[in-house]
Amino acid sequence: MATIKKGDTVVVITGRKQAKGGDRGKTGTVLAVNKETNRVLVEGINLITKHTKVGQTDRGTKTGGIEVVEASIHISNVALVDPSTKKPTRIGARLETKTVNGVKKTVRVRIAKRSGKDI
């Protein structure tokens, strides 16, 4: 089960150091999660240069060329950022019962293991 979801703030915990041109220690928000391959797309992390074929739109403007886009990174190489300490943390779950319109529901709430706060 993927514990990291779209919109979460994560930090890269493995890879090359930033001093050597890597991404370890950088933080960003998750743009997409691919559950089949266990990979996440993080804003500003693992930037690659992509060459796209030059084309033309209906209005006559040129498209394509060299673009810098984010590539996916394996989900095990990132950790969720604790909302209170701003450090990497593991994720736990707590079951709560909520009453909505007189009906009791059991809701699963994600919590940070480091501080115990809700995510």
**Tens digits of per-residue pLDDT, 85-114?**
999 999 999 999 999 888 999 999 999 999
Q: What is the pLDDT of residue 1?
A: 47
6 alpha-carbon distance from chain centroid? 6
Q: Across residues 24-35, what is the average pLDDT?
A: 96
119 pLDDT higher than 90: no
Buried b (16+ CB within 10 A) or exposed e, 36-60: eeebbbbeebbeeeeeeeeeeeeee
Domain boundaries, given as residue ranges, for the chain:
9-81, 89-119
Is the pTM higher than 0.75?
yes
Percent of the chain past pLDDT 70, that is, above it, reads 98
Confidence category of residue 13, pLDDT binned at 50, 70, 90: very high
Count CA atoms closer than 13 A to 29's CA, side-chain side.
Answer: 4
Q: Across residues 8-16, what is the average pLDDT?
A: 95
Which whole-number Å values give the CA distances from 65 to 53, 57, 96, in the listed order? Answer: 6, 14, 51
Name the region of 107 (left: φ>0; alpha: ψ -120 to 50; beta: rest): beta
Task: Provide the β-strand partners of residue 69.
Answer: 48
